[in-house]
Amino acid sequence: MEPSDTFTDDFIVLGKITKPHGIRGEVKIFPLSGQPENFKKYKTIYLAFAGEDKDPVTATIEKCRVQGKLVLVKMAEYNTRNDAETLVGRLVLIPSSDLPELSSEEYYLSELQGKKAVTSDGLEIGNVVGILETGAHDILVVQNNEQEFLIPAHKKFLVNWDENQIVLDLPPGLLEINKSQRKR
């Protein structure tokens, strides 16, 4: 799930509102990070529909609790089930500036999108065009004009990165497996 081009780089998508909960305006949110407890760190969030040409709406978190893989959130601006129903399908955003600082050896997956992917041998694979979230680990979607490659976003494969590119040290045969999977 990706935000549309109407969201600038100023926002990061945290999750998506899936349905109302109860009668007091609470909503269930599916967190895209797979870490629902992270929602407890934020007091202000922003809400918007993907593809919407309007600025995101500000909301203040009053209560937040984790329920399995979901987050139950009560926002000050929404107090009834009807209010909550109007929010279903909205993306939950935070400003990029609200993300915690990382060490020089850490990165956010969203920072990898748009970068050129090359191997440690200098082979240009393509551009990172997306991230797939799976139960085991995240997958980089790398495309060039002819091929799409799915590469595990694992620290043992990602050896270096800068503003323009990421350098991958891939196990032998990984790129070839991608090619053979696509021919089926």
CATH at 158: 2.30.30.240
Could you tell me if 129 and 67 lie in one domain? no
Query: Within this chain, do residues 88 and 149 fall inside the same structural domain, yes or no?
Result: no
Length of the chain: 184
In a domain, 1, yes or no: no
Q: 113, 128 in Cβ contact below 8 A?
A: yes
Asked if 66 and 16 sit in the same domain, the reply is yes
Gap between the Cα atoms of 142 and 165, Å rounded: 12
Is 62 a residue whose pLDDT tops 90? yes
Nearest-CA neighbor of 141 among 126, 154, 155, 156?
A: 126
Overall number of domains in the chain: 2
Question: Domain range for residue 75?
Answer: 11-98
Q: What is the pLDDT of residues 122-160, one digit of tens each?
A: 889 999 988 777 666 788 899 988 788 888 888 888 888
The predicted-structure confidence for 16-28, as pLDDT tens digits, reads as follows 999 999 999 999 9
Could you tell me the end-to-end alpha-carbon distance of the chain, in angstroms, rounded to an integer?
A: 26
